[in-house]
Chains A and B, each alone.
Chain A
Amino acid sequence: MEDAKRQGFKAALRETKNLPTLPGIVVKLTRMADDPDSTTEQMGRVLSKDHILAAKLLMLVNSAFYGFPQRISSLSSAMILLGFNVVKSLIISASIFEMMEKQDVELWEHSLGCAVVCNVVAKRIGVEEPEEVSTAGLIHDIGKVAIKMELPQEYAKITRLMQERKITMRQAELEVLGLDHAEAGAWLTKIWNLPPRLIEPIGCHHDPLQAKAEQLSSAIIHFSDILIRGMGYGHAGDDKVPKLDKQAWELLGLSQEDIDQVIDEVEEKLWEVKGFSLEIQAEAEAPDSAAKS
């Protein structure tokens, strides 16, 4: 694949003509976050002006994959508990999610499931901020949506190639575009100014040891993606469980007992998430949200 062609695709993806622009509210909140004089209460108030976004956020925050024992009722406590970066990522994820759900419900389900596994695994390993990992898990496949929306002809070629030659989506992407959805996802999240701790794992979720600073997070997402596919939850584009990177697996250091418990816990949480995704769907279909979009 000539470099010029690859650059061309890269440029098209970067233009994000068809993807939603970053919500203005994120720009505003970012500015406030950088201002030492603004408080989380103030930010909470700005956020709550967008009712639908606020509701979605609180649902995301309270849903199984964040796993806080008490329900979080205010956005300012959400910000305190999760940190601004996670909340910022959530805001973006909520818009991405809405788009993902409209474009591809099964991918959306897969992403939700992946986030759940990330949360369980991250907590099991004892990662300091498991919520960051699960947020990355939530949007790790955003590159697929970008390719579908920005490069529809190539996307059609990719799906055809997958069916004809029985190869994975990633292999087809590399052949048609010279890049894959992990790379695409990393650029997008960079353009949207998400924190580097999210960008790197998204970019490296198929090749975790490529990561420079976030090898563990990347390994967690890599494994979670594999596990949720193994469990048949949602649909990520092709039907096969991808290969588990040996070094990533060693980095995680999970025992058989760990696996047993992770699978049990994930199954439990997926039941809870089921209710949550129905709620979000119902809200998306409600009249006032239709007016918003």
Chain B
Amino acid sequence: MQQILCSQAREGMVLAKDIMTPEGRVLCGKGTPLTTSLLSRLEKMDMVYVTVEGHPIEVPGEKTLQQELQETEERFSNVTKIAPLMYIKKRILQKLVDSRR
């Protein structure tokens, strides 16, 4: 998932996190697809950020998935014989891939 500016959000993107009102109630639930009318409503509410599924916006200077995967592998390179850590590495790699989908 990716946290982006509302101004970057486009129809078709899907909310990855609930959007809350200032009073703490859920305005739009996680999983709601963004529509033009929803987006203009959020703009009127002065909402700045929204968290969406996947990784739709390319941020200059941000690491690519490839880089993140490689760095993760390197981080674990001293502990290849420790089974629980290898399992953890596997899960972390999986999550990295999933988050970009």
Contact = CB atoms under 8 A, between A and B. Distances in A.
Interface of A: 226-227, 229-232, 239-244, 249, 254, 256, 259-260, 263, 267, 271, 274
B53 to A, nearest CB: 14
B95 A244 contact: no
A240 B88 contact: no
Contact of B92 (A231, A249, A274): A231
B78 interface: yes
B87 A241 contact: no
28 contacts: A227-B88, A230-B72, A230-B88, A230-B89, A230-B92, A231-B92, A232-B71, A232-B72, A232-B75, A239-B75, A240-B74, A240-B75, A240-B76, A240-B78, A240-B79, A241-B78, A241-B79, A241-B85, A242-B78, A243-B82, A244-B84, A249-B84, A256-B87, A259-B87, A259-B88, A259-B91, A263-B95, A271-B17
Contacts of A226: 85
Contacts of A260: 91
B8 interface: no
Given A229-B75, A240-B75, A240-B79, 10 more contacts: A230-B88, A239-B74, A240-B78, A243-B78, A243-B82, A256-B87, A259-B84, A259-B91, A263-B88, A263-B95
Nearest to B81: A243
Given A260-B91, A263-B91, A244 B75 contact: no
Query: Counting chain A CB atoms within 10 Å of each CB, which of B51, B68, B85 scores highest?
Result: B85
Contacts of B37: none
Contacts of A232: 68, 71-72, 75
Nearest to A267: B95
Contacts of B88: 227, 230, 259, 263
A244 B82 CA distance: 7
The 7 A-B pairs with the shortest beta carbon distances in the complex, nearest first, are: A240-B78, A241-B75, A241-B76, A244-B82, A263-B91, A244-B85, A241-B79
B17 to A, nearest CB: 7
A78 B70 CA distance: 43
B91 to A, nearest CB: 5
